[in-house]
């Protein structure tokens, strides 16, 4: 009886270790973290409550502007792009995939539906109107933050 209990505890301990190792590995290779978008700005994909959100944390020196000039709401046009939340409401489907979010594009001032999926050090972010086929995908690369812009 004691041998059965010991074997059961060993099995349970091994299963827990495998589960935690899998979760840790998924977080390292998942969508959360810092990403460089094609224009050179850096964004952070993070957990915001039960959802995933996206915030600009560093603006590229070659960015055409540092304020939200194209916002359709005139009262928001002077706000800084630094720290701006450009994605929200993404529902995590797995550690590497989230759907049903909203994406704001400061270049156009438009808001789109969106989804994201990471593959190692690449994040595919798709923004679309209506259905996903009517959209565009941007590829972002994983990076580290060397300097966070001040708000």
pLDDT at position 148, please? 78
Mean pLDDT along residues 55-74: 89
Query: What is the pTM assigned to this prediction?
Result: 0.76
pLDDT at position 145, please? 78
Read out DSSP for 4-66? HHHHHHHHHHHHHHHHHHHHHHHHHHSS-EEEE-TTS-EEEEEEETTEEEEEEEE--TT-S-S
For domain 31-142, say whether CATH 2.40.128.520 is its number.
yes
Domain positions in the chain: 1-30, 31-142
- Percent of all residues in the chain with a pLDDT value above 70, rounded to a whole number: 79
pLDDT at position 36, please? 95
More confident residue, 151 or 33: 33
Q: What mean pLDDT, rounded, does the chain reach?
A: 82
């Amino acid at each position: 009886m004691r041998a059965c209990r010991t074997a059961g505890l060993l099995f349970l301990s091994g299963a827990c270790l495998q589960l935690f190792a899998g979760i840790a590995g998924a977080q390292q290779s998942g969508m959360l973290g810092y990403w460089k978008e094609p224009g050179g700005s850096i964004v952070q994909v993070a957990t915001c409550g039960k959802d995933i959100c996206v915030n600009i944390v560093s603006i590229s020196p070659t960015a055409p502007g540092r304020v939200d000039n194209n916002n359709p709401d005139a009262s928001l046009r002077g706000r800084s792009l630094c720290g701006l939340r450009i994605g929200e409401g993404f529902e995590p489907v797995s550690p590497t995939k989230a759907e049903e979010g909203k994406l704001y594009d400061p270049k156009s001032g438009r808001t789109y539906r969106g989804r994201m999926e990471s593959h190692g050090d690449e994040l595919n972010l798709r923004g679309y109107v209506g259905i996903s086929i009517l959209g565009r995908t941007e590829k972002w690369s994983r990076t580290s933050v060397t300097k966070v812009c001040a708000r």
